[in-house]
Amino acid sequence: MTAETEVLGELKRLRARVPQLTGVLAASVDGLVLATDTPDAEGVAALTAAALGVAMRLTEATGQGGFKELLVRGEAGYVATYAAGSSAVLTVLAEPRINVGRLHLEARRACVRVGALVDAALERPQEA
């Protein structure tokens, strides 16, 4: 089983635990899709990377430390991005009726697992 398959499995389990999610993706911090269960994943990953850059600068400039998560609320729902290990992020899309506390609880748990999978895959020697 590859890391991508394992990460995708974690994304699907997250969506099963939180039915109000409308999309989930794992991406590298520079905006490359690692695994996805959402439409327009490339666009969302690119925008996530841009938002991540601003969020990282904002937390550092205000003395809040390293980036952990970002929550955006729109008229039609939420977009939340969580740090997942040292080189990935987890972005979730949710309906406006979601319990935000539950969203954070489940997504934070998932991002720990996704981060561990991605970091472990990056540490493995690449096969030619």
- DSSP string of 91-114? EEEE-TTS-HHHHHHHHHHHHHHH
pLDDT in tens, 20-77: 999 999 999 999 999 999 888 999 999 999 999 999 999 999 999 999 999 999 999 9
Residue 123's pLDDT band, with cuts at 50, 70 and 90, is confident
- Please provide residue 100's backbone torsions phi and psi, each rounded to the nearest 5 degrees: -65, -35
Average pLDDT over residues 4-11: 94
pLDDT at 3 over 60: yes
The model's confidence at residue 127, banded by pLDDT at 50, 70 and 90, is low
Average pLDDT value for residue range 107-123? 93
Residue bearing the bigger pLDDT, 84 or 3:
84
C-beta of residue 80 within 8 angstroms of C-beta of residue 92: yes
Indicate whether 2 pLDDT > 90. no
* Upper half-sphere CA count for residue 77 (Cβ side, 13 Å): 12
Predicted confidence at residue 116, as pLDDT, reads 94
pLDDT at 101: 97
Q: What is the pLDDT of residue 128?
A: 46
Q: Which among 26, 31, 21 is positioned nearest to 6, based on CA atoms?
A: 26
92-101 pLDDT, tens per residue? 999 999 999 9
